[in-house]
Amino acid sequence: MGLLAVGTPLDWPEAKKVASHVREWGIEQLLAIWRRAKGKERDALLWGDEIEYLVVSFDDEKRNVKLSLRQADILEALANDAELLKQGGGVPDLACGTKKSGRNAPTFHPEFGRFMLEATPGAPWGIGFKDLLDVERDMKWRRQIAKNHVFGHEFPITLTTFPLLGDKKSITPYFPPSGPKLRSQFVPDEIANPHIRFPTLAANIRARRGRKVELNVPVFHDDKTVWPFKDPTVDYDLHNWPEDDDVRKGAVKDNCIYMDAMAFGMGSCCLQITFQAKNIEEGRKMYDQLSPLGPILLALTAATPIYKGFLADTDVRWNQISGAVDDRTPEELGEAPLKNDRWRIPKSRYASNSTYISQDPRLRPEYLDPDLVVDEQLKERLIEGGMDDRLATHFAHLFIRDPIVVFAEDLKELDLDKTDHFENIQSTNWQHMRFKPPPPGNDIGWRVEIRPMEIQITDFENAAFSVFVVLITRAILSFDLNFYLPIPRTTENMETAHKRDAVINEKFYFRKNVLPKRTPRINGTASNPASGTNTPLPSRPSTPVGPVEDEYDLMTIDEIINGRPDGTFPGLVPLVESYLDGMNVDVETRCELARYLALIKGRASGRLWTAAKWIRHFVRGHDDYRMDSVVPDGIVYDLVKAVERITVHEGRDGYANEMLGSRCSLAE
Amino acid sequence: MKLILSTSNIMGAVSSFRPITNSKSNAEFVNSLRASLEANYSIATSENVNGNGHAARLTYPSWTQMTEAGLEIPALDFSESALQEERDQYDITLKLFYLPGASIEDRGKQTREAVNLVLKELHMPSIDLLIVSFPGVYFDEEEKCPDKISTRGPIEAEPEPIESQIKTWATLETLKDEGIVKRLGIAEFGHDRLANFLDRTRIPPSVDQVNLRDCCSVPRDLLKLAKGRNIELLVHNDCSNILPRGTLRELLGSGPSGAHVLSGSAKTGEKRKSLHGEPVTNGHADKPLDGEVQPLWVVKYTAVVRNRGVVENKGYFAMAEFTNDS
């Protein structure tokens, strides 16, 4: 996402007034892309990962840890690193990096939180198996570079959230909460990236909603937790802003940790992977087939058990981000009758996706979301412009949203060679899958982004999950796998994935028969074998006609990943192994891949713990913990120190093997 | 008479997945061959669609084909099996298993038969890598790996002397000289056998394919040798004993799960008498054939789209010698 576009952002409701304008121009730009790129063919598999870091600052004497808000300084230092620039790395948004051939140095990007860094490989990965081994090295390189550009007492960690975010004190430098943009009683405006886009985003979401965002995470009910739990950190007597009334109007729910700003969600770190498809058809197929895997990947990577200094009763970040950018009005939410708004909208802009887009004949209409909201007028325009109904439905669904950040300067002239208006809507639809058209002006093809995974503490784990997802995509294409599941079941699975220890305790809807019903060809010579009243048919299975409900089952993640022992479900890892069996892979690579797959298998079976479970266990086993759900500063200091240790040693020192497994490999 | 067996493209067929018990690594070939046969001889009637009654069987002459080369089981049809893209988009690998009991003298001919069938199937002029597997050769890890031993399957052949392997290799070198094969490889060679082999071949193998299973341990001397001589050590998960004794008889025989190409079934033993007492000529009668079957070779082929990592076509051919009972 390019951030350099500067201009005059429109406040709400000025932005609202030009919403239709932006949408219409966005649709015209989309049609221009469509016409230009729909026939793009034979693109290679290229893929990239994104790692997001929190920068923390330790004070070892006082035994405390704070979030460092020095993002701008750190990026500046990275952007001016001559050595990094020579290798093609740096910070593209600060417009200093130049591309060089050879293995490019990683690039760093700003993110919403002023305590966050994002790093991507300097050039995309391919499918050469050597490339797969480079991923982990590159991730370590990135962290090392980041580490070299922060202070000695700072460290770039990959926890999804900072456990003390919103405690009104654990940030450095310190700023008081309750600024004009976020109007949060817990975090200052300075928590967000100062680029005008971000505060505007937060302010306009709040304005569109008519109140602050509202996050209520169930608190973990421990032995001595005061019950009912009433968040003791809420200030009911604040009167700086009209929105301070929210808490007096019932925004805070019992037995929940209450949060009130975009930073609590968009300040979370994720692991995202983007693939380039061969052509638009393959891209649409990958989008559909990966969609039902989203909740499974979310539960497998669960890493978010603490918010604002309290143990939560959930394990993942997803719904908090969803709530943190939920700009729906009371009418759209169904809390008030529709008067000014056009429709009720069942999901936040950040949510599990609601469309299938492939023209695959295996896609039955019953799989589609019955509650899908679509802007019929824009859909008609897309169809008129030559787009097929299914894809037009997808984009007309994304385009039910208002643009949130609009720059006045961009509304003067429609430029069909640009994609700014299209991207304005597209990139503020944060669904768990994203279908990305080719950008103008270069040779990049149709891409699919998979977005549900939580960031893992170590580069080893992040590489393992990235490579696993890549291998799954290859298995899907090679074996022509079918993961289709009705979209509402995926939506339910996403909720299930939030539950504490969902990965080992819960069951998820999953398709029973993922293997194609194809048999070897029947030869012409075998035709017309008999005659009579019993018209014989070849034993080739026909298109499915049974009830959709019979196609899926509730399965544990162990079954989904490792297969059912009775052989009725093959398991995703055995499918990947079968795929690898058909490839020429050298021993060193195969053994590294085996380590990655062993991590995934172990997480699924429960033999290895998720970070969420490990962190929860760490807190509850700490001497200072009083079994009351409260995670005090001292424990967080020890926890983040432990996380730093795990990041550095990755279990080779025997620490955290519950989470990582015992670490040894061919090379060691 | 030769029997030419084929699976056609097995990608996406249920049988191509290894069972999660990891118990039989030769299952892919046997299962996909079984599926290929069943798909050809079964006819669904309204009864068995409803779940009552057994599938009716077509008699084998209706779905096999007699040609000069032998009896194709099922009849071969290369009209729709071509790869989609240009030659240089693919990595095409063949692995040829010479079977125990087959004539070592005929290996040159066998190799050409196998390669030609695959080239015809894929509609391609050449392949990238041809790996050969000699019967009875097992790569032995120095470290303990009980998992591997247990999945190896019964050993039904002793390794042949290296002399005959080198003689076979010379016929492979010709294929490379002709440009039909770009690289050659062997499977399951340990350090000593490989070192010996390297000293005595004109074109050394580019690849040694070994089975590691879950124990990622390669003997150091083998690693060193491979590195020093620029030989790629690749991993496979095939059983060297790819077609256990009696399997073909069971698949083609007249038992409940057989294709009824041959009379009798595996359970009645290797030697059998005619069940029908009618003479069989050229396999064109409807009655199953009476006689002995000697498997000669199995070839596995894989075509991968290089820059996308997608397996587009994978399958097996096998050849057996059939001798009429007299």
Domain coordinates of chain B in residue numbers?
Answer: 2-324
Q: Has residue B39 got a pLDDT over 50? A: yes
Tokens of B99: 């079977």
Look at residue A400 and tell me if it is in a domain: yes
Task: Give me the residue from B46, B58, B307 closest to A127, CB to CB.
Answer: B307
Dump the DSSP string for A255-280. Answer: TEEEE-STHHHHT--BEEEEEE-SSH
Of A541 and A30, which is predicted with more confidence?
Answer: A30
Q: How many residues are listed for chain B in this entry?
A: 326
> In this structure, which amino acid lies at residue B239?
C
Q: What secondary structure letter does DSSP report for A141?
A: H
Does the beta-carbon distance from B20 to A562 stay under 8 Å? yes
Q: Report helix, strand or coil for B298.
A: strand
Look at residue A596 and tell me if it is in a domain: yes
Residue B155: its pLDDT value, please? 63
Per-residue pLDDT, averaged over A396-403, amounts to 98
Kindly indicate the confidence band of residue B277, based on its pLDDT and cuts at 50, 70 and 90.
very low
A521 touches chain B (CB under 8 A): yes
Write out chain A residues lying below 8 Å of B303, CB-based.
none
Of B47 and A565, which is predicted with more confidence?
Answer: A565
> Do A625 and A497 reside in the same domain of the chain?
yes
Residue B31: its pLDDT value, please? 87
Residue A632: asked if its preceding bond is cis (omega within 30°), the reply is no
Our CA-based measurement puts residue B271 at a distance from the nearest CA of chain A, in whole angstroms, of 30
Quick: pLDDT tens for A204-235: 999 999 999 999 999 999 999 999 999 999 99
Quick: pLDDT tens for B140-177: 654 455 555 555 555 667 778 889 999 999 999 999 99
Q: Report helix, strand or coil for A52.
A: strand
Interface test with B, best of A279, A479, A597 (most B CBs within 10 A): A479
Does the beta-carbon distance from B304 to A582 stay under 8 Å? yes
Quick: pLDDT tens for A448-503: 999 999 999 999 999 999 999 999 999 999 999 999 999 999 999 999 999 999 99
A531 touches chain B (CB under 8 A): no
ipTM: 0.88
% of chain B surpassing 90 pLDDT: 52
Per-residue pLDDT, averaged over A571-585, amounts to 94
> Do A424 and A504 reside in the same domain of the chain?
no
Write out chain A residues lying below 8 Å of B212, CB-based.
587, 590-591
Write out chain A residues lying below 8 Å of B12, CB-based.
478-481, 515-516, 518
Look at residue A210 and tell me if it is in a domain: no
Q: Has residue A292 got a pLDDT over 70? A: yes
What is the Rg, in whole angstroms, of the alpha carbon atoms belonging to chain B?
20
> Do A482 and A599 reside in the same domain of the chain?
yes
Q: Has residue A564 got a pLDDT over 80? A: yes
Burial of B218 (0-12, 13-18, 19+ CB in 10 A): buried
Does the beta-carbon distance from A479 to B11 stay under 8 Å? yes
Q: Has residue A433 got a pLDDT over 90? A: yes
Our CA-based measurement puts residue A635 at a distance from the nearest CA of chain B, in whole angstroms, of 39
Task: Give me the residue from A522, A578, A584 closest to B39, CB to CB.
Answer: A522
Does the beta-carbon distance from A520 to B44 stay under 8 Å? no
Alpha-carbon span A226 to B178, nearest angstrom: 82
User: Phi and psi (nearest 5°) for A68?
Assistant: -90, 125
Does the beta-carbon distance from B47 to A534 stay under 8 Å? yes
Q: Has residue B22 got a pLDDT over 50? A: no
End-to-end CA separation in angstroms for chain A = 40
Residue B213: its pLDDT value, please? 66
Our CA-based measurement puts residue B265 at a distance from the nearest CA of chain A, in whole angstroms, of 23
Task: Give me the residue from A536, A567, A585 closest to B235, CB to CB.
Answer: A585
DSSP alpha helices (H): ranges in chain B?
A: 27-41, 46-49, 107-122, 146-151, 162-177, 191-199, 220-228, 247-252
Q: Which of A266, A298, A287 is nearest to A452 (CA)?
A: A298
Kindly indicate the confidence band of residue B47, based on its pLDDT and cuts at 50, 70 and 90.
very low
Per-residue pLDDT, averaged over A559-566, amounts to 96
Q: Has residue B274 got a pLDDT over 70? A: no
- Please report the residues numbered 35 through 64 in chain A whose beta carbons come closer than 8 angstroms to any beta carbon of chain B: 42, 44-45
Write out chain B residues lying below 8 Å of A516, CB-based.
12-13
Alpha-carbon span A478 to A438, nearest angstrom: 24
Q: Has residue B253 got a pLDDT over 60? A: yes
Q: Which of A9, A236, A258, A276 is nearest to A124 (CA)?
A: A276
> Do A489 and A444 reside in the same domain of the chain?
no
> In this structure, which amino acid lies at residue B214?
D
Task: Give me the residue from A278, A525, A590 closest to B235, CB to CB.
Answer: A590
Quick: pLDDT tens for A295-323: 999 999 999 999 999 999 999 999 999 99
Does the beta-carbon distance from B308 to A127 stay under 8 Å? yes
Quick: pLDDT tens for A366-380: 999 999 999 999 999
Our CA-based measurement puts residue A193 at a distance from the nearest CA of chain B, in whole angstroms, of 38
Look at residue A250 and tell me if it is in a domain: no
% of chain A surpassing 90 pLDDT: 85
Residue B13: its pLDDT value, please? 60
Q: Which residue among A458, A490, A506 closes a domain?
A: A458
Distances (CA, A) of A292 to A319, A349, B14, B230: 17, 19, 21, 44
Q: Are B302 and A582 within 8 A, CB to CB? A: yes
> Do A452 and A485 reside in the same domain of the chain?
no
Quick: pLDDT tens for B284-301: 457 888 889 999 999 999
Quick one: closest CA in A to B33, which residue?
A: A520
Task: Give me the residue from A515, A575, A590 closest to B212, CB to CB.
Answer: A590
Per-residue pLDDT, averaged over A526-553, amounts to 57
What lies within 8 Å, CB to CB, of A618 at 6+ separation is: A638, A639, A642
> In this structure, which amino acid lies at residue A113?
G
Total domains present in chain A:
2
> Do A443 and A560 reside in the same domain of the chain?
no
Does the beta-carbon distance from A519 to B13 stay under 8 Å? yes
User: A244-248, A336-340, A497-501, B244-248: lowest mean pLDDT where?
Assistant: B244-248
Write out chain B residues lying below 8 Å of A519, CB-based.
13, 35-36, 38-39
- Average pLDDT over chain A, rounded to an integer: 92
Write out chain A residues lying below 8 Å of B55, CB-based.
539
Look up tokens 């460290």; give the residue.
A155
- Average pLDDT over chain B, rounded to an integer: 83
HEC-encoded secondary structure of A474-527: HHHHHHCCCCCCCHHHHHHHHHHCCECCHHHHCEEEEECCCCCCCCCCCCHHHC
Tokens of A123: 């050039």
Alpha-carbon span A331 to A12, nearest angstrom: 17
What lies within 8 Å, CB to CB, of B263 at 6+ separation is: B253, B254, B272, B274, B275, B276, B287, B288, B289, B290
Quick: pLDDT tens for A508-524: 999 999 988 754 444 43
Look up tokens 């087939």; give the residue.
A289
Our CA-based measurement puts residue A532 at a distance from the nearest CA of chain B, in whole angstroms, of 11
Write out chain A residues lying below 8 Å of B317, CB-based.
none
* Pairs of CB atoms within 8 A across A/B: 170
User: What is the number of alpha carbons within 13 Å of residue A94 lying toward its C-beta?
Assistant: 21
Does the beta-carbon distance from A522 to B309 stay under 8 Å? no
Tokens of B128: 């990238």
Per-residue pLDDT, averaged over A82-109, amounts to 68
What lies within 8 Å, CB to CB, of A131 at 6+ separation is: A125
A664 touches chain B (CB under 8 A): no
> Do A406 and A321 reside in the same domain of the chain?
yes
Tokens of B300: 């596995």
Quick one: closest CA in A to B60, which residue?
A: A526
H or E element at residue A22 = helix A19-37
Highest-scoring range by mean pLDDT, A525-534, A600-609, B247-256: A600-609
> Do A413 and A494 reside in the same domain of the chain?
no
Of B216 and B214, which is predicted with more confidence?
Answer: B216
Kindly indicate the confidence band of residue A281, based on its pLDDT and cuts at 50, 70 and 90.
very high
Does the beta-carbon distance from A535 to B46 stay under 8 Å? yes
Domain of residue A348, residue span: 14-161+266-458
Residue A567: its pLDDT value, please? 87
> Do A421 and A388 reside in the same domain of the chain?
yes
A194 touches chain B (CB under 8 A): no
Does the beta-carbon distance from B309 to A529 stay under 8 Å? no
CATH of the domain at A512: 1.10.8.960
Does the beta-carbon distance from A515 to B12 stay under 8 Å? yes
> Do A559 and A641 reside in the same domain of the chain?
yes
Our CA-based measurement puts residue B28 at a distance from the nearest CA of chain A, in whole angstroms, of 10
Tokens of B206: 């580019």
Task: Give me the residue from A525, A574, A585 closest to B234, CB to CB.
Answer: A585
Alpha-carbon span A270 to A365, nearest angstrom: 32
Look at residue A138 and tell me if it is in a domain: yes
Quick one: closest CA in A to B207, which residue?
A: A586
Q: Has residue A598 got a pLDDT over 50? A: yes
Write out chain B residues lying below 8 Å of A535, CB-based.
46
Distances (CA, A) of B24 to A564, A632, B152, B289, B307: 17, 54, 8, 30, 31
Does the beta-carbon distance from A587 to B314 stay under 8 Å? no
> Do A399 and A497 reside in the same domain of the chain?
no
Residue A545: its pLDDT value, please? 72
Quick: pLDDT tens for B81-97: 899 899 999 999 999 99
Kindly indicate the confidence band of residue B266, based on its pLDDT and cuts at 50, 70 and 90.
low
> Do A152 and A56 reside in the same domain of the chain?
yes
Tokens of B48: 């068995």
Residue A1: its pLDDT value, please? 43
Distances (CA, A) of A642 to A463, A637, B209: 20, 9, 43
Kindly indicate the confidence band of residue B269, based on its pLDDT and cuts at 50, 70 and 90.
very low
Per-residue pLDDT, averaged over A91-103, amounts to 53
